[in-house]
Amino acid sequence: MDEVTAVRNFRANAPTPDRARLAPGRQTVLDAAARGTRVRRLRADWRLASLGVAAVVVAAALVATQLGPATGGRVQAGTPRSSKLDRVMEKAAYTVQEHSKVREPGPHQWIYTESAREKLPTGPGLMAESIEGVGTKRGALVYTERWYRYDGRKSAGLSKEDKQFRIKDVDPDSDERTPREWYRLLSSLPTDPGELLKTLRKEKIVDSEGATQAEHDFTEVRGLLGSAPLIPPDTQAALYRALEKIPGTKVSDGLVKDAVGRDAMAVTFSNPTGIVLYRHELLLDPVSFDYAGYRKVAVTDFTMRRGERITYPDKGKEASRPERAEADKGGKPAEFKVEKGQLFVNEAMVSTAVVDRAGQR
C-alpha cells in the first residue's frame, strides 16, 4: 500500500461549528446588509441543521457572494486570477485558525473516518481509480469506515475475509507513518505559504504527480488536506493560503454537490498552459471550510486509445499528460470516447472524529 492510500484512511476533520464559531461571519454579512449589499440565500446543509436556520443561511450566503466562475478547456498563460480566490481562501484560513478545535489526541485515542466513493462506470481499460479498503455498497456509492489508534499500533474495520469488525495489530516495522508521526510532521511545516510550497516541492510528502509545477503543487496541497489524519489549524490555514499562489486555481460559481449530496464549495484547478482535459475539484464545507471531498471532471470531449497518448478526436493534438488506456480482457485494442462533464473520481469525507475506542463513532 502506498502512502497516499494509507493516509487517506486516516483523515479526521474538525467538528461542525457551533453558534460562537459562526458569529464573525454572521456579523460580516449583517454589516454588508446594512450598507445595502444584496445577500443571496441558500439552502442550509443537513449537517448544520442543529445550528439554527438563520445562522446557517447567513453564513452560507457569505460564502456564496464570494465565489467566482469555474474554468475549463484551454487556460491562457499569464491570465490574471480573480481576487475572489484570495478572499475566499483568506476567509477559510481565518476560520480554521480562530475556530478549529483540532488538538493532538492522546496515544490510545482513535481516529475514526467514514468515507464514500462512487464506483464510476468508466468502462474497461479507462483506468478509473479503484476503491480502497472494505466497504458497504449503497447504490452507486461504497462507504468505508476505519479506525486507527493515534500511536499507530492498532487499526480496526471490516475484515477482507468475512467483512466482520476486527481490531488488529499494525506491523511495527511498517514504513507507513502513524497518525502521530503525521501530526508532528505537519506541525513542523512552515506556515508562510510561499515557504510551505517550497518545502512541499522538496519533500514530496504525499508524492504527488503533475504535468506542470502548478499541477504538482495543487495535488500536493489537496493530498494533504484530504489524506492527513489530523491537520494542525495553523498548517491547514497555510495550505489554504498556498492555494492562492498556484496558477490555474479558481473558486466555483456557487455551491456544488459532493458525492453524498451535500452542499460544498469547489476550489478548482486546471493546468494554466497547454491543452486541458481534466478539472480537479477540492471540495470544502461552505461554513467550517473543512475538507469535504474531491472530484476529477473531464472538461472536453476526447478519446483514449491503448498505447497512445490521449488525443482530441477533431484536432489530433496530444494532451499535456501521457495518460494511456489499456487493452480489454481479450487483448484487443481499447478505444474510449470521453464526454465533457464525465466524472473520473467522486469521493466524500462523510464523518470524522477522535474517539476513545475502536468501533465508537
Coil, strand or helix at 213 = helix
Using CA atoms in the order 203, 207, 213, 219, what is the torsion angle rounded to 10 degrees? -120
Place of cell 474510449: 336
3-state class (DSSP) for residue 352: strand
pLDDT at 299: 92
Instruction: Work out the angle at residue 79's Cα, subtended by the Cα atoms of residues 75 and 81, and round it to the nearest 5 degrees.
Output: 100
Q: Which residues contact 292 (CB under 8 A, 6 or more apart)?
A: 258, 262, 264, 283, 284, 285, 348, 349
Q: Which pLDDT score, from 0 to 100, does residue 7 have?
A: 38
Q: Tell me the pLDDT tens digit for each residue of 238-270.
A: 999 999 999 999 999 899 999 999 999 999 999
- Structural domain boundaries of the chain? 3-15+101-300+340-355
Would you say the C-alpha torsion 155, 223, 161, 120 has a positive or negative sign?
A: positive
Q: How many angstroms separate the Cα of 221 from the Cα of each of 99, 112, 335?
A: 21, 22, 33
DSSP 153: S
Residuewise pLDDT in 10s, the chain (361 residues): 444 444 344 444 444 444 444 444 444 433 444 444 333 322 223 232 323 333 333 333 434 444 433 433 344 444 454 579 999 999 999 999 998 888 999 999 999 999 999 987 654 344 444 444 466 777 789 999 999 999 999 999 988 777 889 999 999 888 888 999 999 999 999 999 999 999 999 988 877 677 789 999 999 999 999 887 789 999 999 999 999 999 999 999 899 999 999 999 999 999 888 778 889 999 999 999 999 999 999 999 887 665 444 444 444 444 444 444 444 455 554 667 888 998 889 999 999 999 999 999 9
Q: What is the dihedral of CA 87, 91, 97, 101, to 10 degrees?
A: -150
Measured distance CA(33)–CA(36) in Å, rounded: 5
What is the pLDDT, as a whole number, of residue 190? 96
DSSP code, position 133:
S
3-state SS string for 97-128 = HHHCCCCCCCCCCEEEEEEEEECCCCCCCCCC
**pLDDT tens for each residue of 121-160:** 654 344 444 444 466 777 789 999 999 999 999 999 988 7
The grid cell for 332 is: 484487443
Distance CA(272)–CA(283), nearest Å, equals: 20
Helices (H), the chain: 3-8, 19-34, 53-64, 83-99, 179-187, 193-203, 213-227, 233-243
Q: Tell me the three cell numbers of residue 299.
A: 472538461
